[in-house]
Structure 1
Amino acid sequence: MQCQINSLYIIGLILLLSHCLPASYGGSAVRELRCQCINTVSTAFHKKHIRSLEVYPKGPHCARVEVIVTLRNGVQHCLDPDTKWLTSVVKKILRRNSQKK
Structure 2
Amino acid sequence: MQSQRNSLYMIGFILLLSHCLPASYGDSIMRELRCQCISTVSTPFHKKHIRSLEVTPNGPHCPRVEVIVTLRNGVQHCLNPKAKWLTTVVKKILKRNSQKK
TM-score by length of 1: 0.73
Give the number of the structure whose alpha-carbon radius of gyration is greater: 1
Specify whether residues 87 and 25 from structure 1 end up closer, same or farther in structure 2 by C-alpha distance, changes over 3 A only: closer
User: Unmatched 5+ residue regions in structure 2?
Assistant: 1-14
Q: 1:3 corresponds to which residue?
A: none
- The CA deviation at 1:27 is 2.5
Percentage identity across aligned positions? 83
Q: Distance in 2 between matches of 1:24 and 1:95?
A: 34
Once residues 75 and 95 of structure 2 are traced to their aligned partners in structure 1, the CA distance between those partners, rounded to angstroms, is 25
1:24–1:99 Cα change, 3 Å? closer
Find the aligned partners of 1:74 and 1:100 in 2 and give their Cα distance. 23
Does 2:27 match 1:27?
yes
Q: Deviations over 1:38-90 (max 9, x none)?
A: 11000001111111111111111111110000001000000000001000000
Contiguous gaps of at least 5 residues in structure 1: 1-15
Counting matched residue pairs gives 84
How do 1:7-86 residues align onto structure 2 when only pairs under 5 Å count? 23-24=23-24, 27-86=27-86
Alignment RMSD (CA, Å): 2.1
TM-score (norm 2): 0.73
Q: Secondary structure at the match of 2:70?
A: strand
